[in-house]
Structure 1
Amino acid sequence: MPVDGEMWFAVLPDADSAQAAAHALCRRAPQVIEHASGRPWLVGRWPADQMHLAGAGAAQVAVIGRCLVTAADLDGRARALNGGAPVDALAAGLPGSFHLAVSAGGQVTVRGVISGMRRVFHTRLAGVEVAASRADVLAELVEAPVDEEVLAARLLPAGLITHVQETSMWRGVRALPPELLLLLHADGSWATRCWWRPPEPVLPLKEGAAALREALISAADSCTAAGGTISADLSGGLDSTSLCFLAARGCAELVTVHYRTLDRFNDDDAWASRAAAELPAARHMTIDAEQMPAWFAGLTTVPPPLEEPGAWVRDTERLATVARRVKATGSRLHLTGGGGDELFSPTPGYLHDLVRSRPLMALRRLRAHRPMWRQSWSTLLRALADNTPYNRWLGRCAEHLATGTLDLRDPATGWSIPPFMPTWATPEAVAAARRVLEGIARQAPEPLAPQRAAHQILTMIRSSGMGHRLLQQGIAQHGVSFAAPYHDDAVIEAVLSVRPHEWSQTGTYKPLLTTAMTGIAPTPILQRVTKGEYSAEFHTGLHRHRRDLLDLIEGSHLARMGLVNPAAFRAALLAPQRDASDVGLPLLQTLACEMWLRAAAHHQSGPRPPARAAAQTRHRP
C-alpha cells in the first residue's frame, strides 16, 4: 500500500452493488467523493490542489493531478458533457499531467496519460469491477499473489518491449494500456475504448517547433501557476536547462539544483554554471560530488514499498538527499528533465520509414550514421528491408530469447532492440520470460504507432514515464511532490507531429527542442553540442558497493524463487567491466526486482497499519 501521505485513489461504479467494495476501500481511505446519486465514487488520499471537480446535473468530472484549469472552464466542460459532448474530448487542450474521471448517466469513465506516469489498474472486488491509480492498493484488497512469470520477464532490460513493462505484477489485477480508457458499468461489468492515437508526423520543423514551444510553456505554467517556491534539476544538459528557463518565466520562486559530476572531463558542470548565471532571479543550489551518495548506496536498508520494481533503486540514497535538500528550501514541487532524451534524440527507426518515402535522402543519412554504428552495408540494408509485422517480431523475440549482452552499435531500425535476459538468469527464468513474450505475441498487439520512429519514441517515453512514476512513489516519503513536464500529453503529441527526418539530422543536437526554446533560453546555451556521460558514477558506485551487491544476492528472494543464479551473478559482477553496458542495464532490473520483493516481504510480515474506521471527508462537486 502507499505510504502515509502518498496520493492514491480508487474509482467505483455508480451502483448499489458496489457498496461492499466501497466499504472495503473506505476503511483504507481518508477521503470520499460521491456520485450525484450519493453513492461513493472516488475514494483515496489526495492533496486539495490535486483534485479539480465540476458537476452539471448528473454529469460529474474529476481532473486528478497537475492541471492548469479554472473552475469556470471545468464547469463549462461538465455542462457540455451533460449536453451530450463525448467524454473522449472532455480534456482537450488542458495542460498538465492528470487522471480524468467522469460519472455520467450511470457510467463511469477513467483514464491516465500517454507516458504511463499516471496509470489505471482494475480488478473484481466484491462482485463489481473497481479501478485505482495504484495496482498494489487493489492487490492488497483482493489478496492477489505476485505473478512470478511476469516477475521473471521484468529481468529483461526496461524500455525494449512496452507490453512487458506495462503488464501487472499481480495475478487478477489488470493494467490498462495508456491509450485506453476504462468504462465501469452500473451492472458491475467493464469495457475499454481507445481514447488516443498518435498524430501523423506531417509538420515541418519550424511549424512543429512552434507547437512544441506552446506545449512546453503550458506544461511549465501548470507547475508554476500556484506560486510559492518550486525547485528544478539543473544538470547542465539541454533538457533540464530548458525547463529551468521555462519555469523562471512563471510566478513561482525558482530554486535550481545541480550536483557535480565525478568525471572532470564531463562539461555538464560548466554548462550548469553558465545557465545559472543567466538566471539571476533564481536561487541556485550546488551539491559537491563528495556530498552525494554513490550509485547503489542504500542497498542494505529496506526501501519503501513501490507497486512494482523500479530501476531508480540505483539512486535511492541520491534522490533522498536531493529531496531533503529541496524540501528544506520550501519547495512545493520539484521538476526534472527526464523524458527529454527519449523525445528529442534521433531514433534509428526513422531511417526505416524514410527509405520508403525518400530513398535518396535515406541513403545519404545512412552514410552519415554507418560510421557510428560500425556496421556493414549488408547488415544495414538487410535491417532496413525487414518488414516483419510487430506481433510476428514479438514472437521472434520470444523464440530466440537467450542470455546475452546489449550491443550498443546495433542500428535498431526495427521495432526495438531485441530483448535479452541477464547472464545470471536461470533457465527457468528464461523459460518463464519466454512464455510471457509468447502470450503477448499471441494477442497480436498493434505497434504503438504505424511508423517505426514514432513506435520507438513511444516505447522509450512510456518506459521513462513509468520509471518516473515509481520515482515519485519512492520520494513521496520525504514530502516532496514531483513533475516531469516532458511526459505531458501535449508535449508528446507536439513531438510526434513533426517529420522525424527534419529533427533527426546529423550534425545538429536536438534541433526540435532548440528551435522551440529560441528566445526563451539564451542562444549560447542552445548551441551546446556535447552531452554529459556518467560512466564514472557507475564504476565508482560499483567499486564502493560491490560487497553490498554481492551480499544482496546471497539468499536473495530471486534466488530462492529459482530466477537468479547467485554464482553467475557474482562472476559477472567481479569480472572486468569495459563500460556500464556490460552489466549495468541487466543489473538495474535485477536490483529493482530484488529490492521490490524485499520491501514487499518486510511490509507484509511487519505490523499492518490500522484500518481506518470511516471516511473523514465527504463532498460532491
Structure 2
Amino acid sequence: MLRWFGGSAPGARTALPDDARMVWNGPPLWAVGNWPAHLLRTAETDTGRIVVFGPCSASDNDVAHAARLNDPAPMLCRWAGSFTAVRTHPGAVDVFSDGAHACPLYTVTTPQGLVWGSSALALAPLADSRVDTEWLAAYLWDKRAPAPGRSPWKNIVPVRPGQRLTLTPDGAAAATPWWSLSTRTYTEAVARLRHLLTESVRARTSVPASTDLAGLDSTTLAVIAAAVSPTPVTAITAHPDGQRSGGDLTYAAQLTVPGLTRMLLPLRAGHLPFTSADVPLPATDEPAPSTTTWAMFSAQLRLATAAGATAHLTGDGGDNLALPPPTHVADLVRSGRWLRAAADIMGWARLRRIDPRPLARAALQTDARRLARTSPTRPPWLTAPPPPPPSTPNRATGDANTELIDNVRTAARAAYADAQLADSLGIELHNPYFDAAVLESVVSAPAATRFSTHRYKPLLLDAVGDLLPSPHRYRTTKGTFVSAFHYGVRANLPHLLDRADGRLAALNLIDPAPLRTALRHAALGVETPWATLLRTLAAETWLGVAEASLDCGWQTEEAL
C-alpha cells in the first residue's frame, strides 16, 4: 500500500481516502499505510497541535515546544531531517512544506473544498485526473525543468518547497514562504554541515539500518551511521559478478570501523538495467530514477531487509550539494573579480574537456543558469517542442545559490519516487543529503568557496573528511555502471524495440523510429545520450504502471 498523508481545511465537507488512519479530526488529518512512531510524532497544547511526518532530529520536547509557538518556522529551520510539519491553531491549519522538496506536497480542488496530500497519485482520483502531457513533455526534455506549477497529474497542483500553506474555514488557501537562508563564514558553514549531517543520520538510525557503500558520499554516511546507530549497520556494495577487486570493492574492503558490517551484492544477468524484476514495479507519483534499474534496486533493498534493516540510507544528493558547476562565476563577475572568474572558467573547461567560450559568454552575461547547465540537445525521437524558459523575473540571470537550491530540489523531488518504490518492499529509503537544513548549511557558505577544480568536494571533506580513512578522503572517483546499461539494452533489445511504439508514441510525444535506432546503437556499445534515453524509457514504463493504479478509493463525509 502507498504510504502517504493528507488533510483538508477546517470546518468544510471533506473527502477521506479508504484505509485512512485519522491523526486528528477538526480539521481532518490522516495517514495511509505504515507509519512507525519515529516517522509520525504529534504534540498538543492549549493553543494548538502539531504533527511531524518524516525523519526529524527534533526531540519529543522540541515537538511539544513547537506546538506552543505562535510561529514555529524558526524552530523548524533548525531541525535536521526531511519532514512536513502540520500545525492547527484557532481558526486555521498551517502545512509547512519541506524546504528541499524531499517531501513533495500537492493540492486538488474538489466540490467539497481543497484537499492536500503527499502523493499526487493518491489525489488524482479526486479530480478524475490523468497524466498531464505538458508536464511529461517537459520532463522528457529535461527532468530539471518540468512545467512550473504543474505535476505529473492534471489538476493536481504542487505546493512550492519551503512554503506555509494556510487553510481557513472560509475555504481560503494562502501559501507564503517560511524556509529562510542565512549567511555564514566558510568555517561556520563547515561546522554546521558536520553537525547537521550527523544529526540527520542519527534521526534515521534509531531503527536497524543499512547504507550504500560505494563512493565518497555513501561512505561518509556509512561511517557516521556506524558511530551513532544503537545497532550494527549493514553497508552494501554492489559490483559486477566475478569481480574480486577494483573500484568500489577496493575502497569498501579498506573501510573497517566499529559497528559496520560490510555486505556484497554481486550483480548478475538478472540485475541488468531494463530487465524484469522478480517483484512488479509499483506505481509512483512520477517516473522514479530507479525505474530502469528496478531489478538491481529491488534486489539491494531485499538484501538489506534480509539483513534485518528497516531503513536504508543512500548517498544520493551528495554530488548535487558538494560538486557544483561554476555558477559562482556569475557572482564573481558581478563583484568585479575577473581574474578568479577567468581562472575558474578555464579550470572547469580543462576538467570537463569542453570549450570555455560558451562559459565565458554566460559569465559575462552573469547568467548562472547557463553556467549550471548546457542547453539540452534535442534527441531525434522527441517530437514535443522544448519547454519555454522560466518566466520568473531575473531567473535567467540568477545567482549560484538559486541554481544550487533549484538543482537539489529537483533531484530531491524525483528521489521521493524512489522512496515510494522502497515503501512497497517494506523498507524506508532515506537520502540525508537532501535535508533542507543540510542544504541551507551548504548555501550559507560563500559560493566561491564551495567550488574547486583542484580539490574534490572541498566543503564536504572539510566538514567530515577526518572521519574517513585516508584512501577514502583522497578518492576522486566512483564506480560506474555505464557498460551495464549497454549490456542491459543488448539483453532486452526485442522488448525495448516493441515498447518504442507504446504509450509515449500514442501521445505524440516521441517518434518511435529514431528511438529504435538509438536503442540499436546503445546495444552495439556506441556512445549514447543516456540521460535522455533513460528518461524516455522510464516514462514509458511509468505510464503503464501508474495509469493502471488509480485505485485509491475516496469517501465524501461531513467534517468530523
Q: Judge same fold: TM > 0.5, yes or no.
A: yes
For the Cα contact (< 8 Å) 2:23–2:30, is it kept in 1? yes
Q: Which SS does the other structure have where 1:471 is aligned?
A: helix
Corresponding position of 1:385: 364
In structure 2, relative to structure 1, the CA distance for the partners of 1:138 and 1:463 (3 Å cut) is same
Alignment partners' CA distance in 1, 2:259 and 2:61:
33
5 Å matches for 1:512-523?
A: 512-523=459-470
Q: Deviations over 1:63-101 (max 9, x none)?
A: 11111333222222212x2xxx32422413222111111
Q: Which SS does the other structure have where 2:463 is aligned?
A: helix
For the Cα contact (< 8 Å) 2:328–2:368, is it kept in 1? no
Unaligned runs of 5+ residues in structure 1 are: 391-411
Corresponding position of 2:16: 25
Corresponding position of 1:107: 92
For the Cα contact (< 8 Å) 1:117–1:469, is it kept in 2? yes
Q: Which SS does the other structure have where 1:533 is aligned?
A: coil
For the Cα contact (< 8 Å) 2:367–2:396, is it kept in 1? no
Alignment partners' CA distance in 2, 1:265 and 1:56:
58
Corresponding position of 1:564: 510
Letter in 1 for 2:409: R
Q: Which SS does the other structure have where 2:290 is aligned?
A: helix
Alignment partners' CA distance in 1, 2:368 and 2:349:
25
In structure 2, relative to structure 1, the CA distance for the partners of 1:584 and 1:266 (3 Å cut) is farther
The alpha-carbon deviation at position 282 of structure 1 amounts to: 2.0
Corresponding position of 2:447: 500
Letter in 1 for 2:19: A
Q: 2:67 aligns with which of 78, 86, 89?
A: 78
Letter in 2 for 1:422: P
Corresponding position of 1:404: none
For the Cα contact (< 8 Å) 2:77–2:437, is it kept in 1? no
In structure 2, relative to structure 1, the CA distance for the partners of 1:181 and 1:155 (3 Å cut) is same
Corresponding position of 1:362: 341
The alpha-carbon deviation at position 58 of structure 1 amounts to: 4.0
Q: Deviations over 1:552-582 (max 9, x none)?
A: 123x111112211111111122236898873
Alignment partners' CA distance in 2, 1:13 and 1:271:
52
Q: Which SS does the other structure have where 2:548 is aligned?
A: helix
Q: Deviations over 1:534-554 (max 9, x none)?
A: 322222222222222112123
The alpha-carbon deviation at position 309 of structure 1 amounts to: 2.1
The alpha-carbon deviation at position 450 of structure 1 amounts to: 4.6
Q: 1:462 aligns with which of 397, 401, 409?
A: 409
Corresponding position of 1:397: none
In structure 2, relative to structure 1, the CA distance for the partners of 1:388 and 1:348 (3 Å cut) is closer
For the Cα contact (< 8 Å) 2:227–2:259, is it kept in 1? no
Corresponding position of 1:124: 109
Q: 1:216 aligns with which of 194, 197, 221?
A: 197
Letter in 2 for 1:33: V
For structure 1, which segment, 288-297 or 337-346, has the greater mean C-alpha deviation from structure 2 after superposition?
A: 288-297
In structure 2, relative to structure 1, the CA distance for the partners of 1:138 and 1:119 (3 Å cut) is same
Alignment partners' CA distance in 1, 2:148 and 2:540:
16
5 Å matches for 1:385-404?
A: 385-387=364-366
For the Cα contact (< 8 Å) 1:302–1:595, is it kept in 2? no
Corresponding position of 1:154: 139
In structure 2, relative to structure 1, the CA distance for the partners of 1:104 and 1:450 (3 Å cut) is farther
5 Å matches for 1:1-400?
A: 4=1, 6-15=2-11, 18-19=12-13, 21=14, 24-26=15-17, 28-35=18-25, 38-49=26-37, 50-79=39-68, 81=69, 85-159=70-144, 161=145, 163-164=146-147, 167-200=150-183, 202-204=184-186, 206-224=187-205, 226-227=206-207, 229-235=208-214, 237-250=215-228, 251-261=230-240, 267-275=247-255, 278-290=256-268, 293-298=271-276, 303-357=281-335, 358-376=337-355, 378-387=357-366
After superposition, the CA RMSD in angstroms is: 2.9
Corresponding position of 1:535: 482
TM-score (norm 1): 0.83
Corresponding position of 2:529: 583
Q: Which SS does the other structure have where 1:371 is aligned?
A: helix
Residue-pair matches, total: 556
Alignment partners' CA distance in 1, 2:396 and 2:406:
7
The alpha-carbon deviation at position 520 of structure 1 amounts to: 2.1
The alpha-carbon deviation at position 530 of structure 1 amounts to: 2.9
For the Cα contact (< 8 Å) 1:182–1:191, is it kept in 2? yes
Q: Deviations over 1:161-190 (max 9, x none)?
A: 2x5377312222111111322111111121
Corresponding position of 1:399: none
Corresponding position of 1:401: none
Letter in 2 for 1:96: G
Q: Which SS does the other structure have where 2:147 is aligned?
A: helix
Q: Which SS does the other structure have where 1:164 is aligned?
A: coil
For structure 1, which segment, 463-472 or 580-589, has the greater mean C-alpha deviation from structure 2 after superposition?
A: 580-589
Alignment partners' CA distance in 1, 2:403 and 2:527:
20
The alpha-carbon deviation at position 259 of structure 1 amounts to: 0.8
Q: Deviations over 1:188-207 (max 9, x none)?
A: 1211101124444x522x33
In structure 2, relative to structure 1, the CA distance for the partners of 1:231 and 1:570 (3 Å cut) is same
For the Cα contact (< 8 Å) 2:324–2:451, is it kept in 1? yes
For the Cα contact (< 8 Å) 1:300–1:552, is it kept in 2? no
The alpha-carbon deviation at position 377 of structure 1 amounts to: 5.5
In structure 2, relative to structure 1, the CA distance for the partners of 1:128 and 1:267 (3 Å cut) is same
For the Cα contact (< 8 Å) 1:9–1:46, is it kept in 2? no
The alpha-carbon deviation at position 291 of structure 1 amounts to: 6.9
Q: 1:481 aligns with which of 424, 428, 432?
A: 428
